[in-house]
């Protein structure tokens, strides 16, 4: 008999009842150190007092009002994002998938309005993940995601990761946009070198194609800059955001330049819940905290400490781990042992990590994880690795 919850997930037998900062409390009272943050969502940890207060305060005033009216909380968050990023304008969604939908629509509408209605192709990359809608799975294009869900939405060209020559040849006068994650999350924490992102920007400038960055997972301070592309000193035309921006409240956004957004006039797009007062009250607080002076400096310092300790862990457990990769606090441990064994051993040792493609164990701790918690995390990861080693040698 089918379970009452549609069984699309292989769930671990863990039931968390409370979160406090970097900690999750299981029903049975065990305290887990959370290096997953709900997959980069709880950017400021669990139950951050400022976020709780922002949600509370708004909940007592007004939960929902239609986008037929002015929503001041939405206006404020849009202003903050415009102030702190390349963007001239912002549309709010409830998820990364919805942000992907709009990014694709926006790019195509731009060229349509330029009188170039053949210019609809979007170039994407192998190993990418952009969400689960029909457009988002077509964008990623992997067999695993599209199989059985055909006909697959057309207009996406998939290129190998990191092949500059293939890319150069693939951009034609039908290319509307190039869509890429500066750091692939689900794909196994593969970061695009800064010079490649610069190269992508150059190709887009030369051909007119729009550059769409998916910073749903790697954005909102996770790499140590507010958005990952800032490291390369370039700006996209369109950027997808979600996950961390709501700090745990469902919230997403599409940020765009005035040029890229020029086709999106009244009536061309919409959302019932997108930009609702609750989500935007929380989102504004997240952006305020992450962009406050000193916060990202602290993220970089913590990331440096974590990285150094992880390198030592990998060196001391060569049967389990191969290398550390990623940037800031979006890190991957490339495993020799099966990554799911490492994640499970982590559960036994009260530390939460997340598997990713390429046999990687992902670490996405809260951005405000403390130094003591980092030391504790390493002790638990080492215990988990020891357990995997022992299990391997006994069979």
Nearer to ligand PLP, 41 or 314 (CB): 41
Distance of CA 348 to the CA centre of its chain: 27
**Window of 29-37, 155-163, 181-189, 195-203 that interacts with ligand PLP by CB under 6 A:** 181-189
Q: Provide the minimum distance between the beta carbon of 93 and ligand PLP in the complex, in angstroms, as a whole number.
A: 9
Nearer to ligand PLP, 184 or 349 (CB): 184
* Residue 65 contacts residue 389 (beta carbons within 8 Å): no
The residue whose Cβ lies closest to ligand PLP is 96
Q: How far is CA 304 from CA 248, 301, 332, 370, in A?
A: 25, 5, 14, 13
N residues, the chain? 395
* Residue 43 contacts residue 249 (beta carbons within 8 Å): no
CA distance 68 to 272: 9
368 binds ligand PLP (CB under 6 A): no
Q: Provide the minimum distance between the beta carbon of 218 and ligand PLP in the complex, in angstroms, as a whole number.
A: 7
Q: Provide the minimum distance between the beta carbon of 348 and ligand PLP in the complex, in angstroms, as a whole number.
A: 27
**Window of 69-77, 91-99, 106-114, 196-204 that interacts with ligand PLP by CB under 6 A:** 91-99
Q: Provide the minimum distance between the beta carbon of 350 and ligand PLP in the complex, in angstroms, as a whole number.
A: 25
181 binds ligand PLP (CB under 6 A): yes
Site for ligand PLP in 97-136 (CB under 6 A): 97, 100, 129-131
**Window of 45-53, 64-72, 194-202, 211-219 that interacts with ligand PLP by CB under 6 A:** 211-219
Torsion of Cα atoms, 216 then 221 then 222 then 228, to 10°: 70
CA distance 385 to 379: 10
- Joined tokens for residue 46: 């669990």
Q: Provide the minimum distance between the beta carbon of 132 and ligand PLP in the complex, in angstroms, as a whole number.
A: 6
Residues 34, 101, 121, 214: which binds ligand PLP (CB under 6 A)?
A: 214
Q: Provide the minimum distance between the beta carbon of 337 and ligand PLP in the complex, in angstroms, as a whole number.
A: 25
Site for ligand PLP in 273-332 (CB under 6 A): none
373 binds ligand PLP (CB under 6 A): no
The 182-201 site mask, x for binding ligand PLP (CB under 6 A), equals ---xx---------------
DSSP output for 54-72: HHHHHHTT-S---TTS--H
DSSP output for 197-246: HHHHHHHHHHH-PEEEEE-TTTTTTTTSSSSGGGGGT---SEEEE-GGGG
Nearer to ligand PLP, 101 or 373 (CB): 101
Nearer to ligand PLP, 216 or 335 (CB): 216
Q: Provide the minimum distance between the beta carbon of 315 and ligand PLP in the complex, in angstroms, as a whole number.
A: 29
Q: Provide the minimum distance between the beta carbon of 183 and ligand PLP in the complex, in angstroms, as a whole number.
A: 9
Nearer to ligand PLP, 332 or 373 (CB): 332
List helix spans (H) across the chain: 37-40, 49-59, 72-84, 96-113, 134-140, 143-146, 164-170, 194-207, 277-291, 295-316, 339-348, 371-393
**Which residue's structure tokens are 């009272």?**
29
Nearer to ligand PLP, 24 or 239 (CB): 239
Site for ligand PLP in 236-275 (CB under 6 A): 242-243
**Which residue's structure tokens are 């790499």?**
223
Nearer to ligand PLP, 94 or 257 (CB): 94
CA distance 321 to 127: 21
216 binds ligand PLP (CB under 6 A): yes
| Among 199, 105, 86, 216, residue whose Cα is nearest residue 153 | 105
Q: Provide the minimum distance between the beta carbon of 243 and ligand PLP in the complex, in angstroms, as a whole number.
A: 6
The single-letter DSSP state of residue 45 is -
**Window of 17-25, 94-102, 309-317, 371-379 that interacts with ligand PLP by CB under 6 A:** 94-102
Helix (H, G, I), strand (E, B) or coil at 335: strand
Annotate 17-38 with b (16+ C-beta within 10 A) or e (fewer): eebebbbbebeeeeebbbbbbb
What residues make contact with ligand PLP under the rule CB under 6 A?
95-97, 100, 129-131, 181, 185-186, 214, 216-217, 242-243
């Amino acid at each position: 008999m089918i379970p009452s919850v549609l069984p699309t997930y292989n769930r671990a037998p863990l039931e968390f009842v409370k979160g406090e900062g970097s900690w999750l409390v299981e029903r049975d009272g065990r305290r887990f150190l959370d290096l997953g943050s709900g997959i980069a969502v709880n950017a400021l940890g669990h139950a951050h007092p400022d976020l709780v207060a922002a949600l509370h305060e708004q909940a007592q005033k007004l939960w929902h009002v239609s986008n037929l009216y002015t929503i001041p909380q939405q206006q404020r968050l849009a202003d903050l994002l415009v102030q702190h990023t390349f963007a001239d304008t912002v549309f709010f969604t409830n998820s990364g998938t919805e942000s992907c939908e709009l990014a694709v629509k926006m790019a195509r509408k731009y060229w349509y309005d330029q009188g170039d209605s053949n210019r609809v192709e979007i170039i994407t990359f192998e190993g990418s993940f952009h969400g689960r809608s029909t457009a988002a799975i077509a964008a990623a294009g992997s067999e695993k995601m599209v199989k059985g869900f055909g006909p697959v939405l057309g207009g996406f060209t998939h290129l190998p990761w990191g092949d500059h020559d293939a890319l150069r040849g693939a951009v034609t006068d039908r290319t509307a946009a190039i869509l890429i994650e500066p750091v692939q999350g689900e794909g196994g924490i593969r970061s695009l070198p800064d010079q490649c992102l610069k190269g992508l920007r150059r190709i887009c400038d030369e051909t007119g194609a729009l550059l769409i960055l998916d910073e749903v997972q790697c954005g909102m301070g996770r790499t140590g800059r507010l958005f990952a592309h800032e490291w390369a000193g370039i700006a996209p035309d369109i950027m997808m955001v979600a996950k961390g921006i709501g700090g745990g409240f469902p919230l997403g956004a599409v940020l765009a330049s005035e040029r890229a957004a020029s086709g999106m006039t009244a009536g061309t797009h919409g959302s019932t819940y997108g930009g609702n007062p609750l989500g935007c009250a929380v989102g504004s607080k997240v952006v305020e905290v992450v962009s406050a002076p000193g916060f990202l400096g602290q993220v970089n310092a913590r990331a440096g400490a974590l990285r150094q300790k992880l390198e030592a862990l990998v060196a001391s457990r060569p049967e389990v781990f191969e290398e550390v990769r990623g940037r800031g606090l979006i890190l991957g441990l490339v495993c020799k042992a099966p990554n799911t064994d490492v994640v499970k051993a982590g559960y036994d040792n009260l530390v939460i990590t997340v598997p990713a493609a390429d046999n990687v164990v992902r670490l996405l701790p809260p951005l405000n994880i403390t130094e003591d918690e980092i030391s504790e995390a390493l002790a638990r990861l080492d215990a988990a690795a020891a357990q995997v080693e022992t299990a391997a040698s006994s069979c």
